[in-house]
Chains A and B, each alone.
Chain A
Amino acid sequence: MIDIQGLTKKYEDFTALDQLTLHIEQGTVFGFVGSNGAGKSTTFSILATLLAPTSGTAYINGANIIEQPNDVRRQLGYMPDFFGVYDQLKTDEYLDFYGASYGLSSQQRAELIPTLLELVKLTDKRYEYVDLLSRGMKQRLCLARALIHDPAVLILDEPASGLDPRSRSEMRDIVKTLKMQGKTILISSHILPELAEMCDEIGVLEKGRLIARGSVDSIQGHMQGDRQLTVKVLNSSQQAASHFRNDPLVSNVQIVDDNTVICFYRGSKEQQVNLLKQALQQDILIYQLQEERQDLEDIFLTITKGAEK
Chain B
Amino acid sequence: MGKLTNPVLLKELKLRFRFFKSVSGMLAYLIAMSIFVIGFFYITTQLTGTGYFRPSESFYLFSMLSLIQMGMILFIAPGLTAGAISAEREKQTLNMLLTTTQSSWQIIIGKLLSSLAFLGLLLFASLPFYSLVFLFGGISPVQLLTVFFFYFVTMVAIGSIGIFFSTMTKRTITSMIATYSSSVFVAGFTLFFFFISIMVNQTMIEAGEIAPFTYFWLSINPGALVLSLLSGNLMTEFYTLAGIDIPIWVTYLLFYTVLSIVLLTISSSRLRANMKRG
Contacts and interface: CB of A to CB of B under 8 A. Distances in A.
Interface of A: 9, 45, 48-55, 65-67, 69-70, 73-74, 76, 78, 80, 82-86, 88-89, 93, 97-98, 100-103, 142, 145, 149
Interface stretch (B3-11, B60-68, B74-82, B153-161): B3-11
Nearest to B274: A52
Contact of B7 (A65, A82, A97, A145): A97
Contact of B98 (A50, A89, A145): A50
B19 interface: yes
A102 B92 contact: no
Interface centre among A70, A100, A142 (most CB of B within 10 A): A100
Interface centre among B3, B95, B273, B275 (most CB of A within 10 A): B275
A93 B14 contact: yes
Contact of B92 (A48, A73, A82, A89): A82
B56 to A, nearest CB: 49
Q: What secondary structure prevails in chain B residues at the interface with A?
A: loop
Q: What secondary structure prevails in chain A residues at the interface with B?
A: loop
B96 A51 contact: no
Contacts of A103: 3, 101-102
Contacts of B278: 9, 52-55
A106 B278 CA distance: 37
B95 A50 contact: yes
Nearest to B93: A84
A51 B273 contact: yes
A9 to B, nearest CB: 8
B273 A89 contact: no
A145 B95 CA distance: 13
A142 B97 CA distance: 12
Given A48-B99, A50-B98, A73-B101, A100 B10 contact: yes
Interface string B263-278: 0000000001111111
Contacts of B277: 52
A84 B100 contact: no
Contact of A89 (B11, B95, B99, B102): B11
A84 B18 CA distance: 21
Interface centre among A51, A67, A84 (most CB of B within 10 A): A84
Interface in B234-268: none
A145 B274 CA distance: 25
20 contacts: A9-B278, A45-B95, A49-B99, A50-B272, A52-B274, A52-B275, A52-B276, A66-B275, A69-B272, A73-B101, A78-B99, A83-B92, A83-B96, A86-B91, A88-B15, A88-B18, A100-B11, A101-B8, A101-B100, A149-B101
